[in-house]
Structure 1
């Protein structure tokens, strides 16, 4: 589309359109500029789109009809790195994507489809997925005279949608976005290493989107349900929580060393996981044969869950007013 310049926490995207008319204010968006300007002018209304700080229209380096958009700066989406992060962070990516697709399905412009859904079209800002190329989108629902005109072809499978009495393929933009979310994101990020009690619901979400049994409204509602179960700790209610060991509570104490690695972890040299409460931390420590203690920190994740260091020994305990240590006294 144009060139990207990074300036601290913001970036400037510059592009050239020779057929655009000059105008002042938002009304200058005409002709070839329309696909970019209108979505950008709405982008501030949706959390999952890059925040637009401003844009200007002027000649640049003797090139007429240049539009510069100033947006927040995000990190490139690296799927391999995402697969190595915690389930909680991967779920956040999927949730922010679904919230974006829900907005696009009900936007003031009508139902919007993203024509290029590859991961490179997205960035991560403060742990959430945001789309960058809102200019590469369409609000046109395909016209039809019969269901056979509403054919959607993907590499792995195809779908045929109903043709409405108005001569439009029903929800084609929405369904295309949803299936692309399934094949590029959900299958890789949602189920793996999720809490066991949430797996049935997550598998249901993945299967329903993969078959297009649900629209974006139901998909968004189900993912919000997962978030509520996870944040509230309700997902733990149907699990057996009887500790196999006894633990001694040591307030205002920390174990600086004695680390071991686990996956996934928030710390690449140790085992740092999020828990809903102390009982869940005990359950996790019991599940690792090398775990002999754990340390509750005063740090929390985006869901409000507490971060906990799990330790292989407790030989050297140091004072720390912001932490609480639990030491296993029986196996």
Structure 2
């Protein structure tokens, strides 16, 4: 099979060279090339396949460091593509840990996770017990159905869809960032030429549920927004230039060990909008339109960065940043909201603003000036054995009690004083991602339990209450 492919490819190159240098041909190489291609049956789907192949070749060049010296070389690859097997190369820098088809064949306990327009995602367990996500083409998905309805070529439509997944695999090997889902390996099966099967093996995440996020403490919501800004900063300065996430929706993101990661990259692009004048560079969203300047190179420079940033504002910042935020941070957060909502800030300025908020939050925001702690007695080496009769609060790190993030005991005392039911609080060694302590607030102190790593703070007015140790 491959021998025939090589011979066909060689013959095609001879045809291209002949057409280019034929003395009696009056048309240019490009005209003859286009005429030759358009005379082939199923020109419509072949044209789409060739365009996607052209994009994929670009990512391969970046991944492998290949340099095509002439446009004709790229065009030959584009024309030959329907008869070629085009496999995403393995990243040799991590070859020792790369999963292959052999690993895929031993995956067990396969279960459905979800599906989208083009792909389906399953989860399975490797031989070593590790759970991974398995992403492949959804044969019954809307992408395949609409393509088959349009062209009537199921094999061609499957290849067209497969290119999207291959592009995603290539991008995941090129773009390395904590905010991008990790590619563990791939399986490229071309045993049936008419139905090439590609499977990406990825780290497993949980879907991003915005309603659940809104019920979490502000510190955790800020973490999601900060991680998103760090991702967009990386994409704006990536190895292939500024990258835009064209399908920017919360459903394209997952949480892996509590950290935000983008999991769908097939609609990412490093191409800025083409233009001839500034009017061609308008970025239009449902509620706003922004002007971008057309550069001398004929591209709307900065459009990718601005598109990402405004989408982050309208899908994430609007819902997660201001809600129940610490009062001392609200002026800074409001400036971030205004500046990103109007696109006055670029991604560099936005990241700096987020880092300033983080620094202020870690500093304790001047709680050390408070005298609230003088109302409490400290019992070192104890914690309170909480009961079901105790009170809960919002937003709490625990659904069954009142567990809040504090900078120090002084801030915890202020929080306890602001809650009518609170009589005591306990601070141990458990900390949040910012280094702040987790304090447990209670109304009862009926039972003290020895715990060398904890301290109990009891309101002096409640010291006369009976408790057992």
Q: TM-score by structure 1 length?
A: 0.90
Q: Tell me if 1:243 matches 2:365.
A: no
Query: In the aligned structure 2, how far is the partner of 1:162 from the partner of 1:35?
Result: 29
SS at match of 2:170: helix
**Cα separation, partners in 2 of 1:272 and 1:61, compared to 1, 3 Å:** farther
Tell me, yes or no, if the aligned pair for 1:244 and 1:286 is still in contact at 8 Å. no
- Name 1:27's counterpart in structure 2: none
Structure 2 unaligned regions, length at least 5:
1-117, 126-130, 139-143, 145-154, 463-469
Q: CA deviation at 1:120?
A: 0.7
Residues 193-239 of structure 1: CA deviation (Å, up to 9, x unaligned)? 11111111111111100000011111011112222222233x236x8
- Name 2:382's counterpart in structure 1: 253
- Work out the number of aligned pairs and report it: 320
**Cα separation, partners in 2 of 1:186 and 1:199, compared to 1, 3 Å:** same
Q: Which residue of 191, 203, 216 corresponds with 2:334?
A: 203
Q: Tell me if 1:163 matches 2:300.
A: no
Query: In the aligned structure 2, how far is the partner of 1:314 from the partner of 1:182?
Result: 45
Tell me, yes or no, if the aligned pair for 2:278 and 2:291 is still in contact at 8 Å. yes
SS at match of 1:149: helix
Residues 262-320 of structure 1: CA deviation (Å, up to 9, x unaligned)? 11000111100011111111111111121100011221111111111001122322222
Residues 31-51 of structure 1: CA deviation (Å, up to 9, x unaligned)? 6666323311124x2000111
- Name 1:26's counterpart in structure 2: none
Between stretches 314-323 and 219-228, larger displacement belongs to: 314-323
Tell me, yes or no, if the aligned pair for 2:391 and 2:442 is still in contact at 8 Å. yes
Q: Tell me if 1:306 matches 2:437.
A: yes
Alignment map for 1:138-217 (pairs within 5 Å): 138-217=269-348
Higher strand fraction (1 or 2): 1
Between stretches 116-125 and 252-261, larger displacement belongs to: 252-261
- Name 2:403's counterpart in structure 1: 272
Q: CA deviation at 1:61?
A: 7.7
Structure 1 unaligned regions, length at least 5:
23-29
Q: CA deviation at 1:4?
A: 1.2
Query: What's the C-alpha RMSD, in Å, of the aligned pairs?
Result: 2.4
Alignment map for 1:1-331 (pairs within 5 Å): 1-8=118-125, 9-15=131-137, 35-43=167-175, 45-59=176-190, 64-233=195-364, 235-236=365-366, 240-243=369-372, 246-257=375-386, 259-330=390-461
Higher helix fraction (1 or 2): 2
Residues 234-264 of structure 1: CA deviation (Å, up to 9, x unaligned)? x236x85121751111111111125211110
Between structure 1 and structure 2, the one with the greater Rg is 2
